[in-house]
Structure 1
Amino acid sequence: MEPIIVISILGGLVLLLLLVGAPIKPIRLIGQGIVKIMIGALLLFFLNAFGSTLGLHVPINLATSTVSGLLGIPGLVALIVIERFIL
């Protein structure tokens, strides 16, 4: 496609969003979910940093970050229990 056509389409979409407005609630929910996942990864980082003396290590990935971010401290404890007793 020609660059003029692509720029025109993108400009039209931006203009449409400015006139109609973006749906705020879904964007806000996605943003809050991403922040919670990042907080979960931070909790896991501190657990691994301070838990190394006790032999605790929970891998930091999307699944464990989501569990610890959405459930908070109880989710972190559940991950520790799963790591210790089940795996």
Structure 2
Amino acid sequence: MEPMVIISILGGLILVLLFAGAPVKPLRLVGQGVIKIMIGALFLFFLNAFGNSFGLYVPINLVTASVSGLLGIPGLCALVAIQTWVV
């Protein structure tokens, strides 16, 4: 494609977004979810750092970080209980 066509398409998309507005709400929800998952991974890191002396270890992956991030401290306790008694 020619550069003028690409510039015209991008300019048209910018105008459409200016008039219609960008969907901010879904982007905000995705951002909050990512932040909660990162906080969950941080919870798991501290649990593994301090719980290592007690024999507690919960692997840090997307599922465990999501559970501990979305459910908070009760989710972290549930992961420890599952790791201790079930696995």
Structure 1 runs not aligned, ≥5 long: none
Map of 1:53-64 to 2, 5 A cutoff?
53-64=53-64
User: Which region of structure 1 is more displaced relative to structure 2, 6-15 or 30-39?
Assistant: 6-15
Give the deviation of 1:7 after TM superposition.
4.1
Letter in 1 for 2:28: R
The answer to whether structure 1 residue 45 and structure 2 residue 45 are counterparts is yes
Structure 2 runs not aligned, ≥5 long: none
Question: Residue in 2 aligned with 1:28?
Answer: 28
TM-score, scaled to structure 2: 0.87
CA offsets 1:34-82 (integer angstroms, 9 cap, x no match): 1111100110011111111011111111100100000000000000000
CA RMSD, 1 decimal = 1.5
Question: Residue in 1 aligned with 2:68?
Answer: 68
Dislocated runs of 4+, deviation >4 Å: 1-4
**Identity in percent:** 68
**In 2, distance between residues paired with 1:2 and 1:56?**
60
Give the deviation of 1:9 after TM superposition.
2.7
Q: Between Structure 1 and Structure 2, how many residues are aligned?
A: 87
